[in-house]
Structure 1
Amino acid sequence: MLINSFLVVLSQILSLIMLKKVLPILIISVILVFAIDSYVGITELTIPKDQSDESTPEAISVEPITEYGIPVDSFYIEEYRVKRNQTLGKILYNLKVKADLGKFLYNLKPEDFDVRKVKAGHKYKIFYTKDSVQAPAYLVYEASPIDFYVFSLKDSLYVYPFQKDVVPVRKVSEAEIKTSLWVDMKENNLNPQLALDLSDIFAWTVDFFSLYKGDRFRVMYEELYVDSLSVGIGTIYAAWFEHHGERFYAFRFEQDSVATYWDENGNSLRKSFLKAPLRFSRISSRFSRRRFHPVLKIYRPHTGVDYAAPAGTPVMALGDGVIVAKGYNKAAGNYIKIKHNGVYTSGYNHFSRFAKGIKKGMRVKQGQVIGYVGSTGYATGPHLDLRIWKNGSPINPLKLKSPPVEPIRKENMNAFKLVVEKYLALMDSTSISHSDSITLIN
C-alpha cells in the first residue's frame, strides 16, 4: 500500500516539475503520504479484522424467591385457619392426597410432629401447582409466629420443621401506672410479656399488689421480631421502678457464669422470699387480729393475707424449702406447708388442685409452682390465703423482711460498676416522654 501511494505521488511530482511548481507540491505530497500511512496504521490497530461489531449480552441468573424452603413463584398459595374439632388427618383427607395417608399418620412420631399441636384458629397454607391440575404440593402449618411445619404432599408424604429468623431490636420504654402494670402495658402498646418479666425481676423488692397511681418505670431491653411482628421479649439489660416515691434499680450482670439482676450497689435483687406467691391479683383481705369471717359470720383472727385471683392461677413457693404438709381440711381446703429454714414456714390454702408431682417431703425451689388458685374449704370465691410463721408464731406476710443472697464479690465490682455506668448512660441520655418508647441502635 505504501509503495503504490509513493509511485502515485512520484508521478505527480514529475508532472509538476514540468509545470515549474516543484517545491510546494513536494512538501505537500510528503505530508500526504505520511498522513495516509498513519491513518491506515491506526485503523488497522483499532479495529482488528477478526472483531465483530455485534455482541451477545450475558445471561443474568435470578435466585428464586423461597418461603419455608419452597420456591413460592411455582405455586398458587391459599391461607386457611384450623376449624373447631378439625385434625391433621381431616385436613389432609379433604385435600385428596394421593399418597398413603393412613400409613403416614400411623408412622408419624411426636418428635417429628405432635398432632396435638393442631389447634383451632391456627393458620395453615396450601401450595397448589401452577398447571391444569392445580394439585396440592405442600401444606405449611403455623405452630407459632416462629415455628412452622412443612408437609410435602407429593409422591410420598413427609414433614420437616422450619423456623423464621428472629430479629432482636434494642429499645428503651417508659410508662406511668394509671390502672395496673398489665393494663397500662397494653394501653401503651408495649408487649405484655414485659410486664411479666419486670414483675419477675422486681419480685423481691416491689409489691405489685399495692401499686400507686403515678408509679412509673423505665426499662432497656430487646424486643423480638419476626417479619415486623413482635413475638416476645428477649434480654432485659437494665430497669428502674419508682414505687411509693422510691426508685429501685435492676442491672443485669453475670457472676459465676449465671446472669441475674443487682441493684446499683451490687446487692442481689433475689432474696430469701418473694414479695408475693402469684402474679397480678389483688389483696382482698389483710392480716388482722379481728376480722369478720364471710363464711362463719363471726369475728376471729385472720393471720394471713388473701390474694383474690382467677381460679387456676399458678401459685409459687415463696422460697426454697421442704413440703412438710399437704392435704385437705374443712377450713383450709387443699393446702400446703413449706418449711424454709429453722425460723420460717409458709402456708398456702384453698387450692383448686396441686401442681403435678408435688408431694409431702419433697424439696421445692423459690418460684416453683406448687398449686393453683381455687375456692376449696371455707371460701366464698377463688383466692389464695397465704400464711407465714416465724419460730412457730404467725406474722404479717406483708411485713416480712427478707434477707438478700450474696452480693457482687470484690473481684467483680469494677466490672460491675462499668456495666452500671454504661446502662445508666444509655437510659438517662435517652429523652422519651412517659408512656412512650424508642428504639436504640445496637
Structure 2
Amino acid sequence: MTKKKQIIFSSLLGIALLIVIFMPKREGEVESLDEVEVTDSTEVQEIVYKYGIPVNDYDVDYGVVKRNQSLSTILGTHGLSSRQIHDLGQRAKGVFDVRKIRGGQAYAFFSRKDSLATPEYFVYEADPRAYVVFRLKENYEVTIGQYPVSWKRKEVKGAVQSSLWNAMVSCDTDPLLAVELSRIFGWSIDFFGLQREDEFRVIYEQECVEGQDLPNFKIIGAVFRHADSAYYAIPFLQNGEVLFFNEHGKSLEGAFLKAPLDYFRISSRFSNSRFHPVLKKYRAHHGVDYAAPVGTPVYAIGAGTVIAKGYQANGGGNYLKIKHNGTYTTTYMHLSRFEKGIKVGSKVAQKEVIGYVGSTGLATGPHLDFRVFENGRPVNPLTIKSQPKEPVKSENLVQFNVLRDTIMNQLKRL
C-alpha cells in the first residue's frame, strides 16, 4: 500500500471510530446487564380460593336446599346420571351421611369456564363451621372442610326494662347471650321474675367464622344485680371441668335447676284455687305453667330415674314423671313429644332434654305444666330450695382468689 493510501485509510478509520463513540444510544440499548430493567407485560392475577377450590377457573352456581330435596334430586338437576349419583353416595360412606342434607342449607356447583357447564365440584354447607366437598369427576372424592374459627372478646353492660332478651337487643348484643346467662345463674336467679332496672355486666368471647358471629359463647366473667343482691359468676377449672362459682367460691350450680326450660314466661303459678281456662271452673293448680313455643326443649331439673311415661287425653297429655331421690319427684305435662330413647327406667342427668313443649291433653295453647312433689306432697316449684354443688376446694382457693379479683375488677371498670 502506498503512503497516500495509508493516510486515506487511517483518516477513514478515525472518522468511523469518532462516529461510533459519539453516536447517541438508541432507545432500549444498554452498555451492561446492570442496566437491564426487567418488566413483565403479563398482569399477575391473584388466585382466590373458596372451599379450597380456585374460583378463578370456575363458574360458580350458588343455591339453597329446598324442603324435602335430597342429594340425588339436586345433582340430577345439574346433569348427573343415576349411576354417577349412586357411585358418589358410595364414596361418601364413612365421610358424610348424604341423608343428613336438609332444607335451608347453602350449596354451590363449580363448573369449568372452558367446558360445557359440566360441574366438577358440588359443595354442601353442613353447618356454619364445616362444609362437604363432592368431586364429581373421576374417583368421586368426598371430603370434609373446616372453616377457621376465631373468638372475639366482647363486653356488655345494661339494665332490664321488660326482659333480659330485649335488654340484650337494646345493647346491640346477641340476645342468645340472655339464654347463656339464664343457664349460668339459673340456680340462683328466677329469670321469670326479673324486675325493672335489674342490671348486668358481662365479659365474654363469641365464636366467629368467616366474619359471622355464631351463637356460641365463653363467659369470662359476669355479675347480675337482682332484688338488691349482686350475683357473680367466675369460671374456674376444677376436677377437669370449667364450672361457675360466686365471689366466695361457692358453686352456682344446684342440685335442681331453677326452671325446666330456658327463659320463657310464666303463664300460671302454683295455686290452690285457679280458674281453669278449659273447664271454666275453679280448682287447684299445683304446678307452674311455662308458656313457650311448640318444640321448645324441656329439661330434667335434676338427675333421676323416669318412673312414668304416658298420655292423659283429658289431663296432662303427653307426660313424664321423674324420681330424683327419696324426697323429690317432678312431673312434666302437655309435651308435644318425648325425647328419643326416654322410657320408664331411663336414667337422666340434670339439664338433659327429656321432651318438648306442646299443647297435648287439656290445654288452650302450647306450654309446660311443671310440678314438684316433696315426700308425695305437691309443693311450689318456685320456692323449693336447692343445695349447691361442691365449692372451690381449699387447695385451689389461692388460685381462684387471684382469678376472682382480676375478673371483678374488670367488671367494675365496664
Task: Give the TM-score normalised by structure 1.
Answer: 0.79
Please state how far the C-alpha of 1:246 moved relative to its aligned partner.
Answer: 2.2
DSSP-derived class of the 2:396 partner? helix
The structure with the larger Rg is 1
| 1:16-41 deviation digits (Å, cap 9, x = unpaired) | xxxxxxxxxxxxxxxxxxxxxxxxxx
Aligned to 1:252: 235
DSSP-derived class of the 2:190 partner? coil
Aligned to 2:133: 150
Please state how far the C-alpha of 1:419 moved relative to its aligned partner.
Answer: 0.7
CA distance in 2, matches of 1:96, 1:156: 17
**CA pair 105-137 structure 1, distance change in 2 beyond 3 A:** closer
DSSP-derived class of the 1:398 partner? coil
CA distance in 2, matches of 1:122, 1:350: 32
Aligned to 2:95: 112
DSSP-derived class of the 2:152 partner? strand
| 1:141-164 deviation digits (Å, cap 9, x = unpaired) | 222232111122233422211111
1:335 aligns with 2:319: yes
| 1:320-348 deviation digits (Å, cap 9, x = unpaired) | 12222222344333322222222222222
Please state how far the C-alpha of 1:109 moved relative to its aligned partner.
Answer: 3.9
What's the Cα RMSD here?
2.6
1:369 aligns with 2:353: yes
DSSP-derived class of the 2:261 partner? coil
1:321 to 304, 310, 323: 304
Q: Partner letter of residue 353 of structure 2? A: V
CA distance in 1, matches of 2:362, 2:117: 64
Tell me if the contact between 1:93 and 1:101 (Cα under 8 Å) persists in the aligned partners.
no
Q: Partner letter of residue 373 of structure 2? A: W
1:176 to 159, 163, 174: 159
Please state how far the C-alpha of 1:313 moved relative to its aligned partner.
Answer: 1.9
| 1:11-68 deviation digits (Å, cap 9, x = unpaired) | xxxxxxxxxxxxxxxxxxxxxxxxxxxxxxxxxxxxxxx9744447599999843322
**CA pair 395-332 structure 1, distance change in 2 beyond 3 A:** same
1:386 aligns with 2:345: no
**CA pair 359-121 structure 1, distance change in 2 beyond 3 A:** closer
Please state how far the C-alpha of 1:249 moved relative to its aligned partner.
Answer: 0.8
Aligned to 1:353: 337
**CA pair 95-407 structure 1, distance change in 2 beyond 3 A:** same
2:277 to 271, 294, 314: 294
1:284 to 251, 267, 271: 267
Tell me if the contact between 1:221 and 1:233 (Cα under 8 Å) persists in the aligned partners.
no
2:203 to 220, 225, 239: 220
CA distance in 2, matches of 1:318, 1:338: 9
1:127 aligns with 2:110: yes
CA distance in 2, matches of 1:52, 1:115: 62
Tell me if the contact between 1:241 and 1:247 (Cα under 8 Å) persists in the aligned partners.
yes
Q: Pairwise mapping of residues 28-39 of structure 1 onto structure 2 (< 5 A)?
A: none
Tell me if the contact between 1:217 and 1:240 (Cα under 8 Å) persists in the aligned partners.
yes
| 1:227-265 deviation digits (Å, cap 9, x = unpaired) | 221123232111111223322110100111111100010
Please state how far the C-alpha of 1:89 moved relative to its aligned partner.
Answer: 1.8
**CA pair 240-168 structure 1, distance change in 2 beyond 3 A:** same
Gaps of 5+ in 1: 1-49, 431-442
Please state how far the C-alpha of 1:201 moved relative to its aligned partner.
Answer: 0.7
Please state how far the C-alpha of 1:292 moved relative to its aligned partner.
Answer: 2.3
Q: Partner letter of residue 407 of structure 1? A: P
Q: Partner letter of residue 325 of structure 1? A: A
Tell me if the contact between 2:65 and 2:105 (Cα under 8 Å) persists in the aligned partners.
yes
1:273 aligns with 2:256: yes
Q: Partner letter of residue 195 of structure 2? A: Y
Q: Partner letter of residue 268 of structure 1? A: S
Q: Partner letter of residue 393 of structure 1? A: R
DSSP-derived class of the 1:233 partner? strand
Gaps of 5+ in 2: 1-30
Aligned to 1:427: 411
Please state how far the C-alpha of 1:276 moved relative to its aligned partner.
Answer: 0.7
1:72 aligns with 2:55: yes
The structure, 1 or 2, with the larger RCO (C-alpha pairs under 8 Å, 6+ apart) is: 1
